[in-house]
Chain A
Amino acid sequence: MRPEAAPGATFNKGHLLLHAALILGSVGMLLPFGWMLATSLKSPPQIFTYPPSLVPNPVVWRNYLDTVQAMPFGRFYLNSLFVAVSVTTLQILTSSLAAFAFARLRFRGREALFLVYLATLMIPFHVTMIPNFILVRYLRWFDTFYALIVPTAFSVFAVFLLRQYFRGIPVEMDEAARMDGASSFRIWAQVIMPLSGPVLAALTIFVFLGSWNDFLWPLVVSNSNATRTIPVGLATFRGQYNTDWHLLMAGSVIALLPVLLVYVFAQKRFVEGITLSGMGGR
């Protein structure tokens, strides 16, 4: 939705100022990234020269080839994709159902249960990792995709985010549907979810991103190349004594692409938005 001006509005002073500020900020945002990219195209002796240079000379494209060949990169990439897509799907499904109950249904113990949910968010992963690992081994999931996917498919963060958003949707919307005899399930599927496009898009990005970049848990539960994911593979470029900076950065750049792609597609929904007025009388 475009609250301020219609598309194609003429530039005015305020807009120019805004652009100037945004461009300045962009430089700051992009500078570290530029250095990453430059490093990924440099030969090792070029990387730490002074004065620092953002322009690799000569450009070493080979780094990318070396990165991909240093490990079963394609395999790791596919593993990561499979895990991230599965986790995203499962999390959004389970969380949106739960969030609907927390936001829209009236049941005994609702607030208490939600607080319990929230409370678990406050215990850092480092101390729950070992109990979780023992659980996974007990289920005989060690070194399987189950171990990578299932334990991370339930997210308090997602429930919380969706609950907050759902509560912002006017109750009149579901009440109208209920009058028409719709079940709660239909309201979830046909009223609440469609109205939550922007937040679902945002959540998709974050869940995908979180799963894609997750390091410690995949490291611990996967042993073989068959289940190994990209972040664990990339971490091996940081050795005990030497860091292969150029390869690490090249790998990081490649790893960034799918998430960026998801973002580019999902972000359209932020601006598309949803006009509540259009839903009137439904």
Chain B
Amino acid sequence: MTASASSQTSVSRWRRYRPDQQWEAYLFLLPSFAGFLIFVAIPVVASLALSFYNWNLLSPPEFAGLENYSQLLTNDRVFRKVLFNTFYFIVTIVPLQLAFGLLLAVALNQGMRGLEIYRLIYFMPVVTTIVAAALVFQWFFNRDFGILAAAIWELAAETGLPIRPPDWLNDPDWAKPAVVILTLWKNTGFTMVIYLAALQGVPTELYDAAKVDGASPWQRFRFVTFPMVSPTTFFLMVIQMIGAFQLFSEAFVMTQGGPAQATLTIVYYIYQMAFEFQRMGRGAAVAWVLFIFIFIFTLVQTRLQRRWVHYEAGGES
């Protein structure tokens, strides 16, 4: 399905499977696959089965056929709102996070002194528990007493200008960006670290050769760094997209999905359905509709990756 390799020299070899490696491969897979089967695959299949039942978790499930799905697609205004919100978060969070992460990683991969401290600082948000972080941001965003607003009010008082801080979490138009900001703050360090690790795999020789050829720093980035970390970029795109599709805690703690469902995400809706409205089956149905979306996105990405993802570094150059 996915492209195995794009390196011209080895494409044909890689496509074929090798009988002598068949059993060996299964042995390598066994530890992971055994656990995967029991603790990942079985529950996932069970959740699919649940989506065809009505279940309030307390009394026995009742078979409902496709009712959960048909309700969802034809008669659920909240679901449509939730889909829109989720797409908003995907198109904002994923590209910004990738860009900031790569930028930071490249900047911090220089041979300059004192960069360790930045590597620590930019990673600290990742380490913080989301609950504490979201509560802090919640207060930051407060229009009357928060620290961001305080600065703007101060400015307004000093200059006499009629400026007002945005009413971040009380205004549907501002609540979404607030969630995006929190997510970026929290997760950019993650992207940065993965990129930093990837940058270590780029052979120095490539940069040396590029320098000899008189490549500018931008050209070195564009033609050496970028292609060399492209497998990682692909990985991050897929992972971040899944992450953005499944955005939950940030909204759960900071905005409780509000105001007026402006930050209600798909997974938040699933949580509400399953555990607040006691409709586990409906929640599972939402999850599987979500699955179809993500799966299609991922398939498209794996198709597109052939055009820009460069595997097996060092094999050429």
Contacts and interface: CB of A to CB of B under 8 A. Distances in A.
Do A and B touch (CB < 8 Å)?
yes
A168 B118 contact: no
B246 A124 contact: yes
B205 to A, nearest CB: 6
A172 interface: yes
Interface in A149-168: 150-154, 156-157, 159-161, 164-165, 167-168
Interface in B110-139: 110-114, 116, 118-133, 135-137, 139
A128 B50 CA distance: 10
A102 to B, nearest CB: 8
Contacts of B315: 170-172
Contacts of B248: 124, 126
**Main DSSP-derived SS at the A contact region:** helix
Interface in A206-252: 206, 209, 213, 215, 231, 234-235, 238, 243, 245, 248-249, 252
A271 interface: yes
A59 interface: no
Contact of A117 (B36, B110, B198): B36
Contacts of A202: 193-194, 196-197
Contacts of B235: 160-161, 164
B199 to A, nearest CB: 8
Contact of B127 (A115, A168, A263, A275): A263
Interface stretch (B18-26, B91-99, B166-174): B18-26
Contacts of A249: 132
Q: How large is the interface on A (under 10, 10 to 19, 20 to 34, 35 or more residues)?
A: 35 or more
A9 to B, nearest CB: 6
Interface in A8-51: 8-9, 15, 18-19, 21-22, 25-26, 28-33, 35-36, 39, 48, 50-51
A277 interface: yes
B40 A156 contact: yes
Interface residues of B, number: 118
A70 interface: no
A144 B140 CA distance: 40
Nearest to B235: A164
B32 A2 contact: no
A1 B202 contact: yes
A179 interface: no
A131 interface: yes
Interface stretch (A61-69, A71-79, A92-100): A92-100
Interface of A: 1-9, 15, 18-19, 21-22, 25-26, 28-33, 35-36, 39, 48, 50-52, 93-95, 97-98, 100-101, 105-108, 110-124, 126-132, 135, 150-154, 156-157, 159-161, 164-165, 167-172, 184, 188, 197-199, 201-202, 205-206, 209, 213, 215, 231, 234-235, 238, 243, 245, 248-249, 252, 255-256, 259-260, 263-264, 267, 270-277
Given A126-B274, A128-B40, A274-B201, 19 more contacts: A3-B220, A7-B113, A15-B110, A33-B124, A94-B32, A105-B24, A107-B21, A110-B25, A122-B295, A123-B47, A127-B287, A159-B32, A164-B234, A164-B235, A165-B232, A168-B228, A202-B196, A231-B131, A276-B314
